[in-house]
Structure 1
Amino acid sequence: MSPTNDTNKSIEEQDHLSQETKDMLLSLPREKGWRTPYIYLFQGFWCQPAEIQAISTFQNHFQAKDSDVFVATVPKSGTTWLKALTFAIMNRQNHFISSKNHPLLSFNPHDLVPFIEYTVYGKHDKVPDLSKFHEPRLFGTHIPFGSLPNSIRKSNCKIVYICRNPFDTFISSWMFVNKIKPPSMPTLKLEEAFEMYCNGSVGFGPVWNHMLGYWNESKERPKNVLFLKYEDLKEDVIFHLKKLAKFLDCPFTLKEESEGVIENIIKLCSFEKMKELKVNKTGTFGRNFENKFLFRKGEIGDWTNYLSSSMVEKLSKIFEEKLYGSGLKFRVK
């Protein structure tokens, strides 16, 4: 069977895709996927077929409101943690942080801050009814800034973005994929995954373009896009939570600060706390994987246990070149 016929067959077998999406995939460049047979180059970034379908529907139908808040992230860069923190901050008047019935104790953060491309628009090519979402609406996404709908980019909604140093991001992504990949997919070896990452062919990559899209917009519109780094957030959580709350137009009052509200949010959303919750030990994220796979270590610098010196040198040079002149830099240790 020729490569072209093989491509057609793999696309046609995906019953969850609309015919329009299947036709589109035939015209897109493709590479071997990390957890699907292929990923496709769509609007300048690589993603899975189902993601392309969801993003297309999202772009065509979503109407932003100025009160909307989006938690945008590079995959495996602190997404679950930032979603929990953002939800807790925005909903602290309705759900007291010290309450035994706080939603974060019984729901995974991805349930409370649903992904646009997996949950909200992830059901075939149907347009969801968003009237049931309480305002201000809170969503999560891995979609690069340039591919967000015009209604978002032209609105006054808020976008909170977080990324992580590329070494830890790579290792976390590689280990995560090998845990959740379907049985039909072979184990992805470190060396192969590394070359794919360096070439940019990773979900929602190239990673450097993903970072730069939100970084540049945060410089242009700082009141609408807040750019955070995982390492900075870990180093001084209190400072960055105050910054986040102020950005979201719900700053902490002096009374809240004196009563320890910020510290209680940090404790509620801590890696250790979330990892031990029953919902995160036994629950599942959609039909894709178990919640427990979302919590590995959450440490900075774990990449030193896996990457050779030549790998570090190669990836360092790539990011130095790609980020040159932008002002965006990372601490790697």
Structure 2
Amino acid sequence: MINPPLFRNVLSIQKHFVAKDTDIFITGLPKTGTTWLKSLLFTTVNRNNHPIDQSPLLTHHPQELVYNLESDVYNEAFVYPRPNNLNDLPPPRLLSTHISYTSLPESIKASRSRILYICRNPLDMILSMYYFFLEFEKKKKNYEDEDFFEDFCEGKVLCGPFFEHVLEYWKTSFERPDKVLFLKYEDLKDDPKLHLMRLAEFIGMPFSLEEEDKGIIQQIVNFCSIKNMKELDVNKKGVINKFFEKKSYFRKGEVGDWANHFSPSMLERTNKLMQEKLEGSGLSFKMLL
């Protein structure tokens, strides 16, 4: 589901955006960990230019450093400081999008640019989305978790449907392993150091043994942790794109919090839907029934 204004932005991206071989894209559905991944990517790419104690993330929200194509660059409705021309950005350009793989501009798919895709257990995603939009639209306090849950089951997820979106990138990561690195939020939380090393290797900027010995990898993990990002003053006040509270991008970041919010019948329904949609793909999400 893509709302009309966003749909126009996607069409504009498809028509006008030209990818470069050095571009690095973060993709994934909203509320799956893309903000956290932006922090990790930006810090890893710029680790030689900006020591952690001088990181731009101390003064800028991750969303302001890794531009989203449909919400920032090709959206005239939302404006905050950004380059007038993407070509002004030095390589590698760090960009993001929630667009499905099928809908990506051909220049992205045809170029040697690289894609980091992150997915998350759909129930945690739904819960995070609920609280995010509850912050965004304070007046809609009558919203219940079930509204988002029903939309999810019917395939009405922003830039979704969920399973089709995830499976497109999942399959492409096997067909084109040099193009797409598929990450699961839960795996990243379980062993962030390991997967940060995978990320760095994938984008062609691997950590050296010296960096590992000096603890650089762990420093980046600690600095970019949701707990630390949430406590930075820059992320406590202000808005993104005039509307979204900066603090709303950092809530709990927990794995499995859905177990405290969804009924047994909802979990059973999700489990059946998951088995149906993911059968034979090799992709799975942990469910506790």
Q: Using the TM superposition, give the Cα deviation of residue 181 of structure 1 relative to its aligned residue in structure 2, in angstroms.
A: 2.2
2: CA distance, partners of 1:332 / 1:120: 37
Q: Give the unaligned 5+ runs of structure 2.
A: none
2: CA distance, partners of 1:332 / 1:263: 30
- Structure 2 equivalent of residue 110 of structure 1: 63
Which amino acid is 2:112 matched to? N
- Structure 2 equivalent of residue 252 of structure 1: 207
- Structure 2 equivalent of residue 243 of structure 1: 198
2: CA distance, partners of 1:163 / 1:76: 9
Identity %: 46
**TM-score, scaled relative to structure 2:** 0.94
- Structure 2 equivalent of residue 180 of structure 1: 136
- Structure 1 equivalent of residue 248 of structure 2: 293
Ranked by relative contact order (alpha carbons within 8 Å, sequence separation 6 or more), the top structure is: 2
CA offsets 1:184-205 (integer angstroms, 9 cap, x no match): x563222222111110112112
Instruction: Choose the corresponding residue for 1:262, options 212, 217, 237.
Output: 217
The answer to whether the Cα contact below 8 Å between 2:29 and 2:158 also exists between their aligned partners in 1 is no
Q: Using the TM superposition, give the Cα deviation of residue 124 of structure 1 relative to its aligned residue in structure 2, in angstroms.
A: 5.3
Q: Using the TM superposition, give the Cα deviation of residue 128 of structure 1 relative to its aligned residue in structure 2, in angstroms.
A: 5.6
- Structure 1 equivalent of residue 93 of structure 2: 137
- Structure 2 equivalent of residue 150 of structure 1: 106
Q: Using the TM superposition, give the Cα deviation of residue 129 of structure 1 relative to its aligned residue in structure 2, in angstroms.
A: 2.1
Residue 52 in 1 paired to residue 7 in 2? yes
The answer to whether the Cα contact below 8 Å between 1:171 and 1:303 also exists between their aligned partners in 2 is yes
- Structure 1 equivalent of residue 158 of structure 2: 203
2: CA distance, partners of 1:247 / 1:332: 30
Aligned length: 284
Provide the alpha-carbon RMSD of the alignment: 1.6
CA offsets 1:123-175 (integer angstroms, 9 cap, x no match): 159x9622211111110111111100000011110000000011111111112
2: CA distance, partners of 1:313 / 1:80: 30
CA offsets 1:34-70 (integer angstroms, 9 cap, x no match): xxxxxxxxxxxx1122211111111001111110000
CA gap of 1:264–1:88, structure 2 versus 1, over 3 A, is same
The answer to whether the Cα contact below 8 Å between 1:53 and 1:124 also exists between their aligned partners in 2 is no
Instruction: Choose the corresponding residue for 2:177, options 192, 211, 222.
Output: 222
The answer to whether the Cα contact below 8 Å between 2:31 and 2:129 also exists between their aligned partners in 1 is yes
Which amino acid is 2:95 matched to? F
Which amino acid is 1:82 matched to? L
Residue 189 in 1 paired to residue 135 in 2? no
* 3-state SS of paired residue (1:262): helix
Which amino acid is 2:72 matched to? T
Residue 305 in 1 paired to residue 260 in 2? yes
Residue 274 in 1 paired to residue 214 in 2? no
* 3-state SS of paired residue (1:47): coil
* 3-state SS of paired residue (2:27): strand
* 3-state SS of paired residue (2:115): strand
- Structure 1 equivalent of residue 186 of structure 2: 231
- Structure 2 equivalent of residue 89 of structure 1: 44
- CA radius of gyration, larger in: 1
After TM superposition, what 4+ stretches of structure 1 lie above 3 angstroms from structure 2?
Answer: none
2: CA distance, partners of 1:86 / 1:104: 12
CA gap of 1:73–1:123, structure 2 versus 1, over 3 A, is same
- Structure 2 equivalent of residue 34 of structure 1: none
The answer to whether the Cα contact below 8 Å between 1:178 and 1:187 also exists between their aligned partners in 2 is no
